[in-house]
Amino acid sequence: MKNVRHVQLDELVARLAGSAAFRSKRDIGRLAAGVDAAPAAVARWSETGARVLLGDDTAAIPDGDGHLLFAAEGILPALLERDPYFAGWCAVMVNVSDVAAMGGFPLALVDVYFHAGASDVEGVLAGVRDACRAYGVPLVGGHTTRSDDGPHALAVAILGRADHLLTSFGAQAGDDLVVGIDLRGDYHADFPFWNASKGRAPRDLRDDLAVLGTLAASGAVHACKDVSNAGVAGSLLMMLEASGVGGVLDLDRVPRPEGVDLPAWLATFPSFGFVFAAPPEGTGAVLGLLRERGIACERAGRVDASSQLRLASAGHEALLWDLARQPFTGFGPPRSS
C-alpha cells in the first residue's frame, strides 16, 4: 500500500470529517437524542428484563437461545431514478449484509415502494427479485402505492436471526482492528459503490457472508461493523463510538484496489466490507477465514481507550474525530437510568 505524506494526511482528515457521508451520520444524532437508548424487549405484550441496544446494524431482539435481527434501509432517490434495477438489488444486498454483520442469517424481507406511472416498476422489482434469489432470502410482503404526484421511493426491511451474536458494542482497548473487503469487481457506473457481487455465483455470495456467523460462533471477534456509505473510517468510527473506545487506523494497511486513490476509496461503499475488533489471539482466525474466501483482509490498527479515532500513514497520525468532544451518531454506550 502506498503511504500518505503528513500534509496530505491532514487534508484527508479534514475532507472526511466534512464530507456529506459524515454529515448524514451525524444527523442520526437527532434521533438518538429523542429515543430510549436501550428500550425493554417484550414477550406476549409484556416488557421483559432484557434491553435492546440501539445503534447497531440491526436491532438484536432476544429470542430464546438467540436473537431476532430487524433492520430497514431506504434507497437514495438518485440511484432509484438512474438505475432502477441496481437500486432494487442494493435494497436487498445492504439489508442482508447488515444481518451478516451481526453474525446472523436472513429469514424474510418486505418492501415499501411508491412509484409514479412513468416509473420503471418492472426494473426495480426485477432487481429486488434477483437479489432475493441470489442471497437466499424470500420476499414475503410489503406495500406498493402508485402516486403520480408523489415521490419515487423504495425502502426494504429484513428479519434475520443470529444463534451467536456479533455487535458493535464489544470492542476493547488492546484489540486489533481488522479490515476485510472483497476487492473483486469495480465501481458501479459513477456511483461511489464498489460492486464485488457482479458475476459471483449465488452460493459464493452466501458462503462469503456465512463467514461472519462462523466468526461469531468462534468467539474470535469482540465487535464487527458493516462498511457503509461512511466508508471504512466512518464505519469504524461508529463501532468505536458504540463501544465507548478509540483507536488508530493505519491507512497504509487498509485493503484497496489497484489504481484507486485513497481519498476516493475512503469515501467508497463496498458491497462486501467489514471492520472487526479482535483480541490479538483471535486475529489469525479472522484473517484466515476471510482470505480463504478470496477476500482481502489486513490487521490495520489497534483499539485504545482514548475515545478518539486517529488516521495514520508513514509514521504520522492525524485526529479524525474526538468522540469525547463531539458525538458522531449519538449511539454510544447506554445512558444510565
Q: What is the pLDDT of residue 27?
A: 81
Q: Which one is the CATH code of 6-30+167-322: 3.40.1210.10, 3.90.650.10, 1.10.1740.10, 3.40.50.300?
A: 3.90.650.10
pLDDT, one tens digit per residue, over 274-312 is 999 999 999 999 999 999 999 999 999 999 999 999 999
Region(s) of the chain under CATH 3.30.1330.10? 58-162
Question: Sorting pLDDT into bands at 50, 70 and 90, what band is 243?
Answer: very high
Q: In this structure, are residues 183 and 119 in contact, taking their beta carbons and an 8 Å threshold?
A: no
Q: What is the pLDDT of residue 35?
A: 76
The string over 278-287, giving b where at least 16 C-beta atoms fall within 10 Å of a residue's C-beta and e elsewhere, is beeebbebbb
Question: Sorting pLDDT into bands at 50, 70 and 90, what band is 54?
Answer: confident
Name the nearest CA neighbour of 75 among 100, 101, 112, 104: 112
Q: What is the pLDDT of residue 8?
A: 87
Q: In the β-sheet with 193-195, what is the strand arrangement from edge to edge?
A: 186-187, 193-195, 269-270
Higher-pLDDT residue of 223, 40: 223
The fraction of the chain above a pLDDT of 90, given in percent, is 76
Question: Sorting pLDDT into bands at 50, 70 and 90, what band is 7?
Answer: low
Q: What is the pLDDT of residue 92?
A: 97
Q: Look-up: residue for cell 485513497?
A: 262
Q: For the chain, what is the radius of gyration of the CA atoms?
A: 19
**Grid cell digits, residue 300:** 490495520
Region(s) of the chain under CATH 3.90.650.10? 6-30+167-322
pLDDT, one tens digit per residue, over 107-160 is 999 999 998 888 888 999 999 999 999 999 999 999 988 888 778 899 999 999
Q: In this structure, are residues 294 and 176 in contact, taking their beta carbons and an 8 Å threshold?
A: no
Q: What is the mean pLDDT of residues 16-25?
A: 91
77: number of CA atoms within 13 Å, CB side?
Answer: 6
Question: Sorting pLDDT into bands at 50, 70 and 90, what band is 71?
Answer: very high
Task: Using the predicted structure, report yes or no on whether residue 202 has a pLDDT greater than 70.
Answer: yes
Q: How far apart are CA 155 and CA 142, in angstroms?
A: 10
Q: What is the pLDDT of residue 147?
A: 82
Q: What is the pLDDT of residue 39?
A: 87
Task: Using the predicted structure, report yes or no on whether residue 244 has a pLDDT greater than 80.
Answer: yes
Antiparallel, parallel or unpaired: β 59-63 and 66-74: antiparallel
Task: Using the predicted structure, report yes or no on whether residue 32 has a pLDDT greater than 80.
Answer: no
Antiparallel, parallel or unpaired: β 316-322 and 308-313: antiparallel
Beta bridge partners of 70: 59, 159
Q: What is the pLDDT of residue 5?
A: 63
Q: What is the pLDDT of residue 336?
A: 45
Element (H, E) at 52: none
Q: Look-up: residue for cell 479515532?
A: 309
Q: In this structure, are residues 231 and 269 in contact, taking their beta carbons and an 8 Å threshold?
A: yes
Question: Sorting pLDDT into bands at 50, 70 and 90, what band is 337?
Answer: very low
Q: What is the DSSP letter of 197?
A: -
pLDDT, one tens digit per residue, over 75-103 is 988 899 999 999 999 999 999 999 999 99
Q: What is the pLDDT of residue 333?
A: 78
Antiparallel, parallel or unpaired: β 193-195 and 269-270: parallel
What are the distances in angstroms from CA 223 to CA 63, 94, 113, 211? 21, 19, 33, 14
Beta bridge partners of 142: 111
Q: How far apart are CA 291 and CA 116, in angstroms?
A: 45
Q: What is the pLDDT of residue 29?
A: 80
pTM: 0.93
Q: What is the pLDDT of residue 3?
A: 65
Q: Look-up: residue for cell 420476499?
A: 139
Q: What is the pLDDT of residue 46?
A: 84
Q: What is the mean pLDDT of the chain?
A: 92
Q: Where are the alpha helices (DSSP H) in 108-150?
A: 121-135
Q: How far apart are CA 169 and CA 324, in angstroms?
A: 17
Antiparallel, parallel or unpaired: β 246-250 and 296-304: antiparallel
Q: What would the CATH number be for the domain defined by 58-162?
A: 3.30.1330.10
Task: Using the predicted structure, report yes or no on whether residue 334 has a pLDDT greater than 60.
Answer: no
